[in-house]
């Protein structure tokens, strides 16, 4: 399992790991969910922090983005030169580590 194709952003106590896909599919979400709990093993500098996950995409079916959100992931839609988080304001992300 590799974590080299992911981006991570951190503040003092949390890390958000982001996987980016041109077309987001349900199997992408499932595979990413399996990687998140072991992320600190690959990036030791993030041990002891809360691990959050996000899926960013250009195109996806609504059922797939809903699945990602139900799993506790931030869902980010890229449009042109910008991106936006599409989760509702009351969304509570899942902590994976």
Q: What values do phi and psi take at 20, rounded to 5?
A: -110, 130
pLDDT tens-digit readout, 13-52: 888 999 999 999 999 999 999 999 998 888 888 788 899 9
Query: Considering only CA atoms, which of 73, 22, 23, 62 is closest in space to residue 87?
Result: 73
Q: Which two tokens stand for residue 11?
A: 């503040």
Residue 38's SS3 state is helix
More confident site: 3 or 14: 14
Domain boundaries, given as residue ranges, for the chain: 7-85
User: Would you say 6 and 17 are in contact if contact means Cβ atoms under 8 Å apart?
Assistant: yes
pTM > 0.95: yes or no: no
Strand partners, 53: 17
CB of 43 within 8 A of CB of 36?
A: no
């Amino acid at each position: 399992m590799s974590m080299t194709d992911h981006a991570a952003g951190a503040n003092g106590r949390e890390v958000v790991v982001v996987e980016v896909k041109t077309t987001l599919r349900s199997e992408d979400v499932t595979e990413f969910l399996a990687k998140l709990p072991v992320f600190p093993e690959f990036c030791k500098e993030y041990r002891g922090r809360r691990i959050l996950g996000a899926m960013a995409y250009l195109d996806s079916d609504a059922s797939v983005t809903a699945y990602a959100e139900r799993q506790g992931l931030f869902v980010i839609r890229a449009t042109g030169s910008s991106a936006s988080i599409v989760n509702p304001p009351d969304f509570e992300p899942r902590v994976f580590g």
